[in-house]
Amino acid sequence: TSITSAKIQVNGVHLHYQQTGEGSHAVLLLPGMLGCGQTDFGPQLKSMNKQLFTIVAWDPRGYGQSIPPSRDFPPDFFERDAKDAVDLMQALKFKKFSLLGWSDGGITALIAAAKYPTLIHKLVVWGANASVTQEDVRIYNGIRDVSKWSEKVKKPLEEMYGHKYFAKTCEAWVDGISRFAEKSDGNICQQLLPDIKCPTFIIHGEKDPLVPQAHAEYIHKHIKGSRLLLMPEGKHNLHLRFAEDFNRQVEDFLH
């Protein structure tokens, strides 16, 4: 089945999304920092089971083709993304749906599952964190300067945004997410985790250079009945690098 692209007005912005499949189980894919459906979820849009699932990948406001507006990072940017994501799926007439969130998209998905429990069927997150430590801030500052990124990771984002917007937005993201570390507990959404009642699957790459494993373990510990899968060779982009294994694990869980 083909992948369609469209825009729909949600909360005053025109959000871009891609959609494929005709299954009865709707699934929303939530991308990471600077990411969008096109850059972050190629293997999922292409290869996930289209008989079982209807798959939607969105571009959060200021990312991908959901520009304008330009991306900014107010203190509640994760809550804003969570509301946008849920309202997008409602605008598309999905009454209930599952969330697959990577990295920042995982944080957004955790918040959405906690705040809108009647709408969320199942939840899968990987490369996500519920708080920001001083160690995390050190890691984020290591990626502040996009000219130091590997060509492979940098290229699709430069093509999407142009160098200037890409570089500026990455710096703004580092500043925005580092602000959470100024709170005593570095909290992003820790207090919401016990409110997540839907079946939850946490996947973590043991070689993830951006998100230490303790984050995945914390989320697992505080979401009752959740499952944790550690992938020994997985890094941050394990759903791209090990797409076949990842897709199979996730489909089994959702099914």
- Taking the C-alpha atoms of residue 222 and residue 217, their distance in angstroms, rounded to an integer, is 9
Catalytic residue among 16, 25, 215, 236: 236
Q: Is the Cβ–Cβ distance between 120 and 97 less than 8 Å?
A: yes
Of these residues, 81, 104, 136, 208, which one is catalytic?
208
Which two three-digit tokens encode residue 129? Answer: 């964190």
Alpha-carbon gap, residue 244 to 251, rounded angstroms: 11
Residue (of 42, 46, 107) closest to 240 by Cα position: 42
- Sequence-distant (6+) residues with CB within 8 A of 81 are 30, 60, 61, 104, 108
| Catalytic option among 40, 66, 84, 103 | 103
Determine the distance from the C-alpha atom of residue 164 to the mean position of all C-alpha atoms in its chain, rounded to a whole number.
Answer: 23
Instruction: Establish whether 236 is a catalytic residue.
Output: yes
Question: Active site includes 103?
Answer: yes
Is 16 part of the annotated catalytic residue set? no
Residue 83, strand partner residues: none
| Strand positions, DSSP E, the chain | 4-10, 13-20, 25-30, 53-59, 97-102, 120-126, 200-205, 227-231
Catalytic residue ranges: 103, 208, 236
